[in-house]
Structure 1
Amino acid sequence: MTTPPPAPSPAPEWEPEHEVTAEAAAALVGARFPGLAGAPVEALATGWDNTVFLVGGEWAFRFPRRRIAVPGVEREIAVLPAIAPRLPLPIPLPRFTAGPSEEFPWPFWGARMIPGRELAEVRPRDEDRTALAERVGAFLRALHDPALAAEAGGGLPHDPMKRADPAVRAARTHPRLDSLVRLGVWERDRAVTDLLAGARHLDPPPGGPVIVHGDLHVRHLLLDRGGRAAGVIDWGDLCLADPAVDLSIAYAGFSGAARAALLAAYGPVPPEREAAARVLALNLSATLAEWAASTGRAALLAEALAGIGRAVAG
Structure 2
Amino acid sequence: MEELDRIAAIFPDLRWSQARRITEGWDHVVVLLDDARVFRFPLEAPYADGLGREIEVLDHLAEYLADRFTPRAGKRSGDRATDRAADGLVGPLPVRIPRYDRVALDGSFAGYPIVPGRALTPQLLATLPAAQRETLIAQLAEFLSALHTAPIAGTPLERVPPSYLAEDQQEIREGVAAHLSAVLTPGELAEVEDILADVDELLAADLPAVFIHNDVYSRHLLWDEAAGRLGIIDFSDMCLGDPAVDFAELHEYGEAFVRAVYERYTGPKDPGFLDRAWTYQRWVGVYMLTDHFEVGKTTWSVARETFDRCRAPRG
1:36–1:56 Cα contact (<8 Å) kept = no
Q: Distance in 2 between matches of 1:119 and 1:301?
A: 19
Deviation digits for residues 80-110 of structure 1 (CA, Å, limit 9, x no counterpart): 011024444211110100133xxxxx61100
DSSP-derived class of the 2:32 partner: strand
DSSP-derived class of the 2:110 partner: strand
Deviation digits for residues 237-283 of structure 1 (CA, Å, limit 9, x no counterpart): 12222323323234x43433212101111146324544543333223
Q: Distance in 1 between matches of 2:220 and 2:145?
A: 17
- In the superposition, relative to structure 1, how do residues 187 and 45 fare at CA in structure 2: closer, same or farther (>3 Å)? farther
2:288–2:298 Cα contact (<8 Å) kept = no
2:255 counterpart letter in structure 1 = G
User: Are residues 1:90 and 2:90 paired?
Assistant: no
Give me the CA root mean square deviation. Answer: 3.8
TM-score by length of 2: 0.71
DSSP-derived class of the 1:110 partner: strand
DSSP-derived class of the 1:93 partner: coil
Which residue of structure 1 aligns with residue 279 of structure 2? 279
Which residue of structure 2 aligns with residue 35 of structure 1? 13
TM-score by length of 1: 0.71
1:1-314 correspondence to structure 2 within 5 Å: 23-37=1-15, 39-87=17-65, 88-100=94-106, 107-120=108-121, 122=123, 124=125, 131=134, 132-147=136-151, 151-159=155-163, 161=164, 163=165, 172-174=171-173, 179=179, 182=182, 188=188, 193-204=193-204, 206=206, 209-224=209-224, 230-250=230-250, 252-267=251-266, 269-288=269-288, 290-291=290-291, 294-295=296-297, 297=299, 301=303, 304-305=306-307, 308-309=310-311, 313=314
- In the superposition, relative to structure 1, how do residues 112 and 33 fare at CA in structure 2: closer, same or farther (>3 Å)? same
Deviation digits for residues 35-63 of structure 1 (CA, Å, limit 9, x no counterpart): 21565321245312101011233110000
2:148–2:212 Cα contact (<8 Å) kept = yes
1:262 counterpart letter in structure 2 = V
Which residue of structure 1 aligns with residue 75 of structure 2? none
Deviation digits for residues 2-42 of structure 1 (CA, Å, limit 9, x no counterpart): xxxxxxxxxxxxxxxxxxxxx21111111111121565321
1:255 counterpart letter in structure 2 = G
- In the superposition, relative to structure 1, how do residues 223 and 31 fare at CA in structure 2: closer, same or farther (>3 Å)? same
- In the superposition, relative to structure 1, how do residues 183 and 144 fare at CA in structure 2: closer, same or farther (>3 Å)? same
Give the Å deviation of 1:174: 4.7
2:115 counterpart letter in structure 1 = I
DSSP-derived class of the 1:188 partner: helix
1:135–1:262 Cα contact (<8 Å) kept = no
2:247–2:277 Cα contact (<8 Å) kept = yes
Deviation digits for residues 271-305 of structure 1 (CA, Å, limit 9, x no counterpart): 45445433332233333455468457588547634
